[in-house]
Amino acid sequence: MISVIGAGPAGSFYASKAKEEVHIFEEHKEVGKPVSCTGILTDSIKRVTDIDKNLIISKINKFKIVAPNGNATYVDLDKTNMVLDRAKFDNFILQKAIDNGAKLHLNERFLGYKKINGKYKIKTSKNEYETEMIVGADGPNSAVARAAGIYGDRKFLMGWQARCKYEELEEGVTEIRLNLGEFSWIVPEDNKIARVGVLGVNNIKLKEDYRKILGASKILEDQSGIIPLYNPKQELRKKNEDIFLIGDAATQVKATTYGGIIYGLIAGTYLAEDKESYVKNFNKKLGRDLWISLKMREMMNVMTEEQCNEMIQIFQKKENIDVLSKHDRDFPSKFLFQLLMKEKKLWKLGFGIFKNKVFS
């Protein structure tokens, strides 16, 4: 028996791929709620799994990036992004796990474990179970990571988000404002409703930025939550033990836009394919992209308003927009090389720090 802690996309997707008997333990009474995610996916999801059309609320065809001085550039996407009903998406992935034979335990919180005769006995809020392997897919504050002593040095950001009603929205266009928080967004569901948010260190300024991006919109539903900052040194497995972390529990979140769904699904796939090579495969195949995203975020966080304005001017050039349009932002290593070769001004803004990662 394998025990998966957390019935989010990462844990459920792993369970849908595992060949052994799997039990999923979810602390909430229902899967997918409360929602604390924007629920926007790039076309990269098709590399990992199919998406039922009934899960898609709207599609994003372009991004509008607004500089501090108000100048904006539009990026037309070659491949549309999908805005999902996040709760239904979680249940969609969960059903794949159940179809694969997984057993679901709702409203049952993981409390800890003991190792006995080479196996583990996990304790939950309802019972105790013997298990051969534990998979922590239980979010940023992972109780599995804490119990196993591999929690590490974690840093968190606050994502203030709400579903909001507007008089009128630019349908099919996600707006990003560079001067609000570390990242901000207005993701339309249609021409009246949008998911609006800002993300960063939780302080007075972030709350002020949140009020600015909300503007005169009417809040329909709060969807705020914490997000882990990717830690390249995070242990994905307890040494010499069959205890693993995937998804947010493993800080597998790209720091540019703080999305992590696709990385969590891929992590689940690697773990299900071969637990012994999981850590090596993830770090080798995806670690570089997460590192690049982290360094891009660090660089953007110290940019002046003047530099942000200059960056928008650079990306207003057709040849640069074309590069951004053709590549998914989930994997920056695939397009950063082209941008650095085309636009030398990016080196002056600090992008030169990536030369060893993208040219190797």
**CATH number of the domain to which 59 belongs:** 3.30.9.100
Domain range holding 129?
2-33+86-154+231-287
Name the domain boundary from 287, 310, 326. Answer: 287
**Helical (H) or strand (E) element with 154:** none
Distance CA 259, CA 183 (A): 11
- Locus of tokens 């650079």: 314
Rounded to whole angstroms, what are the CA distances from 269 to 127, 166, 245?
29, 40, 13
| Most confident of the following: 65-74, 84-93, 319-328, 346-355 | 84-93
Residue 139 shares a structural domain with residue 191: no
The predicted structure's pLDDT at residue 79? 81
Distance CA 317, CA 324 (A): 11
Instruction: Look at residues 203, 200, 210, 206 and name the one whose alpha carbon lies nearest to residue 157.
Output: 200
For residues 8-14, give the mean pLDDT: 97
CB 187 within 8 A of CB 195: yes
- For residue 351, name the pLDDT band (cuts at 50, 70, 90): low
For residues 119-147, give the mean pLDDT: 96
Name the domain boundary from 270, 287, 304. Answer: 287
Distance CA 323, CA 10 (A): 30
Instruction: Look at residues 358, 335, 326, 338 and name the one whose alpha carbon lies nearest to residue 42.
Output: 326
Q: 181-218, pLDDT tens digit by residue?
A: 988 999 999 999 999 999 999 999 999 999 999 998 99
Residue 10 shares a structural domain with residue 92: yes
Residue 352 shares a structural domain with residue 214: no
Report the percent of the chain where pLDDT is more than 70.
85
For residues 122-142, give the mean pLDDT: 96
Q: 70-119, pLDDT tens digit by residue?
A: 888 888 888 888 999 999 999 999 999 999 999 999 999 999 999 988 88
Whether residue 174 is predicted with pLDDT greater than 50 in this model: the reply is yes
Residue 126 shares a structural domain with residue 16: yes
Rounded to whole angstroms, what are the CA distances from 295 to 151, 302, 319, 325?
22, 11, 24, 22
Residue 75 shares a structural domain with residue 168: yes
Residue 68 shares a structural domain with residue 161: yes
Residue 268 shares a structural domain with residue 302: no
Among 24-38, 249-263, 337-351, whose mean pLDDT is lowest? 337-351
Whether residue 348 is predicted with pLDDT greater than 70 in this model: the reply is no
For residues 17-23, give the mean pLDDT: 96
Residue 206 shares a structural domain with residue 349: no
Q: 253-301, pLDDT tens digit by residue?
A: 988 888 889 999 999 999 999 999 999 999 998 888 898 888 878 777 7
Instruction: Look at residues 13, 88, 54, 77 and name the one whose alpha carbon lies nearest to residue 262.
Output: 13
The predicted structure's pLDDT at residue 287? 87
Peptide bond before residue 232 is cis, with ω within 30 degrees of 0? no
CB 16 within 8 A of CB 25: no
Domain count, the chain: 3
229 CB-contact burial (10 Å; exposed 0-12 / middle 13-18 / buried 19+):
middle
Residue 249 shares a structural domain with residue 343: no
Residue 330 shares a structural domain with residue 209: no
Neighbours of 297 (CB within 10 A): 19
The predicted structure's pLDDT at residue 135? 98
CATH of the domain at 254: 3.50.50.60
Distance CA 58, CA 172 (A): 7
Residue 94 shares a structural domain with residue 25: yes
Name the domain boundary from 261, 287, 313. Answer: 287
The predicted structure's pLDDT at residue 31? 94
- For residue 128, name the pLDDT band (cuts at 50, 70, 90): very high
Distance CA 21, CA 100 (A): 9
Residue 305 shares a structural domain with residue 341: yes
